[in-house]
Structure 1
Amino acid sequence: MDASNTALRPSDGPAGQAPDAKRPIDWVNLTTIAVVHLLGAAGIWWVAAVQFSWATVGLAIFWYLMCGFAITGGYHRLFAHKAYKANWLLTAIHLFFGAASVQNTALKWSADHRVHHAHSDTDKDPYSVTKGFWWAHIGWVLRGGREVDLGLVKDLEKNALVRFQHRHYILLAVLSGAVVPMLIGLAWGDPIGALLFAGFTRLVLQWHATFSVNSFAHLIGSRPYDPESTARDSWIVALMTFGEGYHNYHHKFPSDYRNGVRWWQFDPTKWVVWSFSKVGITSDLRRAVNAEKYKLATALKKAQEAAAAAAANASATASAASAAASEAASNAARAAKAATSAPAPGPSL
């Protein structure tokens, strides 16, 4: 996904530019992220030491799943890449739980992500891994001095639900991410646990799952479709992110509604979108053509490079052996010459 992320808001600055380590710290984002992590730790303490409730744990898991799908299936594949179409109800659900994910509005998230794909691995990439693991994972969120170019998402602004979420994002984030879980927790007498564990502990885990697409999925794994990209296919990241870990494929074919294209590859987002298409909730699922052709071409290129390297090594070895043989022959010739030119021993007395 690769997936992009912003905490609460982007900072001001030149549109379309990626931040770097020289830009000022965004104290709003830094403070928000720090406080959320502290409250997330408090959630673990509450469940472990104060009041354990299976209902609270179940709510946290449900909220994690819904928010995770809102990012992968909604923000990423539906809005940023328009890989499929969804009816108004699913769109509204994506926007509600997307706000609970506290990764900015669908408009700003998608704009950043489109820049990431258009300028991947360059200075214009907002979260380029070429600036290091920490920068790609979370460092870019903590620096200010730039703004999101909403001119890149004019198509999304036509959607009234997307515009509504954009205008009322902070309110929706607080309601969906904290207030609603707390109110649900009242049903079994654990509103504080629901707020802390389903609200903040869940959010910390979800943030780092999303962050991992920008960091780990650009450093660990294979590159079967595009060996020039830093994006990699990682089943480990896929497990953490509802299928977003097949990132090399995604960067080569970003408009495909799938990330894991094989039936056995773990991509629950793909399975949900496909299943919804059978009952009319989603439609116009886009699929890449000739994907296997690119994979075979990459494999052939790697084989050719390996063969060339082997030939070069063999040539170097042969040259070294020839040089050694020549030197040995030369040494032998010098030894023979020295032996024949040596004076004969005189008579013994």
Structure 2
Amino acid sequence: MSTTKPPLIWLNVFIFSFSLAVAAIGTPLYAYFIGFDWTQVVMLAVAFSYCGLSITAGYHRLWSHKTYEANAVMRFIFAIGGAFALQNSILHWSSDHRVHHRHVDNNDKDPYSAKMGFFYSHIGWMLREYQASRYTDYSNCRDLQKDKIVMWQDKYYGILAIVTNFGFPLIFGVVHGDIWGALLLVGVVRLVLSHHTTFFINSLAHVWGSQPYTDKNTARDNGILAFLTFGEGYHNYHHIFENDYRNGIRWWQFDPTKWLIKSCSYFGFTRKLRVSPEDRVEKARAKMQLVRLQAKLTAASNANNCDVQARIRLLEEEYELLMSKISDYYAAKKRMVELKKKHLTKHYENFEFMQQYNDMKLHLQEQRKSWKMLTAQYA
């Protein structure tokens, strides 16, 4: 990357600095001298959630990664919410994000590479024209250019952004009886919160948290960030399984974006929800456990120590056994699902296979326990 700094994008500089200053200074002053009521606070939460979910469920998981399909009603709602969030059009946002995933952490190609520093990945990349050569190159989004709602929003994005960011707060302010309070809280504060919680995924989620699935990039899983970003904080998982409509795959993980997408599928608003194969997910976690323990054992003492080498060999052997049993079990599970669909599980010729399937399941459970005990012992 050239050492000469590109020109500033003054519109972005103004929007980010002005909105932050007004929110940081104007909000406490207004609260002290005039005050806000609970209706305004609730409306702030509603508007913030609308913006956030439009980005996470719409811009990100629907359009950028195609993790599910949505009908025109949902796409329109997300398109309006995305303009309200003021994070550029669907087409431009998705194009940037696809480049980010393809070239993650590459300082020359990743639009918001975390290796360029916290400030750059958080907001700095939008303050200067770093992407002048590809600003209107949407060749990686030809699929989105076939979506009429995407192209309509892209064409009228400026108008939609102005109308939503002034119109929604004004309407609420008129109805509620406090226009200035609404413009400040639902307008400016909501915008700042929406911006920076999203930006945290590009910055904080690449430096703060754990890496349970891969260490091939800087992405981290962080439950606190997930709470602030409607489930986007499980970023390490996302960067290895980007085509999954879920970010938090465990039942206890906070991922309201996942819950929204899944709930809407029951009413026909969303469909074809994509999930990552269970065996690939389990193998990725086990692989990272192996890598970490190998490094820990090697660093703890002389790598040539016979005891250390024996432990590492034992780990590798148990790991290979686990991989083998995972592959066998999930292959059998796939066949079992097919048999159940065809109502063939009660046929005599499949009885032996069902016994084998149950045996494989039991053997995998035993190997999981063995692996868990061994990794806990060496942790």
What TM bracket, shorter-length normalisation? 0.7 to 0.9
Q: Which structure shows the bigger proportion of residues in helix conformation? A: 2
**Equivalent of residue 79 in structure 1, options 63, 75, 92:** 63
Identify the residue that residue 224 of structure 2 maps to in structure 1.
236
Aligned-CA RMSD value? 1.9
Moved more, 115-124 or 190-199: 190-199
Identify the residue that residue 120 of structure 1 maps to in structure 2.
104
Structure 1 Cα separation of the partners of residues 166 and 3 of structure 2: 32
**Equivalent of residue 209 in structure 2, options 217, 221, 242:** 221
Structure 2 Cα separation of the partners of residues 95 and 308 of structure 1: 52
Map 1:246-325; keep pairs closer than 5 Å: 246-289=234-277, 290-312=280-302, 315=305
| 2:125 maps to amino acid | W
SS at match of 2:197: helix
Deviation track 1:47-93 (CA, whole Å, cap 9, x = no partner) reads: 44224232222211110011110011010000100111111111111
Asked if structure 2 preserves the Cα contact closer than 8 Å seen for 1:21 and 1:143, the reply is: no
Matched, 1:203 2:187: no
Identify the residue that residue 245 of structure 1 maps to in structure 2.
233
SS at match of 2:233: coil
**Equivalent of residue 121 in structure 2, options 133, 136, 139:** 136
Matched, 1:88 2:72: yes
Identify the residue that residue 168 of structure 2 maps to in structure 1.
180
Identify the residue that residue 23 of structure 2 maps to in structure 1.
40
Structure 1 Cα separation of the partners of residues 286 and 74 of structure 2: 37
Deviation track 1:161-189 (CA, whole Å, cap 9, x = no partner) reads: 11111011111111112212211221121
Identify the residue that residue 108 of structure 1 maps to in structure 2.
92
Structure 2 Cα separation of the partners of residues 48 and 273 of structure 1: 40
Runs (4+) off by over 3 Å: 18-21, 313-316
Structure 1 Cα separation of the partners of residues 275 and 7 of structure 2: 41
Asked if structure 2 preserves the Cα contact closer than 8 Å seen for 1:47 and 1:197, the reply is: no
| 2:113 maps to amino acid | S
Matched, 1:53 2:37: yes
Matched, 1:151 2:139: yes
Identify the residue that residue 6 of structure 2 maps to in structure 1.
23
CA drift at 1:266: 0.8
SS at match of 1:248: helix
Q: Per the alignment, do residues 21 and 219 of structure 1 end up closer, same or farther by CA in structure 2, a change over 3 Å counting?
A: farther
Structure 2 Cα separation of the partners of residues 306 and 69 of structure 1: 40
Identify the residue that residue 310 of structure 2 maps to in structure 1.
none
Higher RCO (Cα < 8 Å, 6 or more apart): 1
Moved more, 139-148 or 90-99: 139-148
Structure 2 Cα separation of the partners of residues 312 and 217 of structure 1: 34
TM-score (norm 1): 0.82
| 1:205 maps to amino acid | L
SS at match of 2:82: helix
SS at match of 1:312: coil
| Stretches of structure 2 lacking an aligned partner (at least 5 in a row) | 307-379
| 2:281 maps to amino acid | A
Aligned residue-pair number = 300
Radius of gyration: which is bigger? 1
Identify the residue that residue 335 of structure 1 maps to in structure 2.
none
Asked if structure 2 preserves the Cα contact closer than 8 Å seen for 1:107 and 1:162, the reply is: yes
Structure 2 Cα separation of the partners of residues 257 and 19 of structure 1: 37
Structure 1 Cα separation of the partners of residues 258 and 233 of structure 2: 12
**Equivalent of residue 163 in structure 1, options 151, 162, 166:** 151
Deviation track 1:221-265 (CA, whole Å, cap 9, x = no partner) reads: 111111121001011111110010000100001110000111111
CA drift at 1:311: 4.4
Asked if structure 2 preserves the Cα contact closer than 8 Å seen for 1:56 and 1:190, the reply is: no
Moved more, 138-147 or 80-89: 138-147
SS at match of 2:243: coil
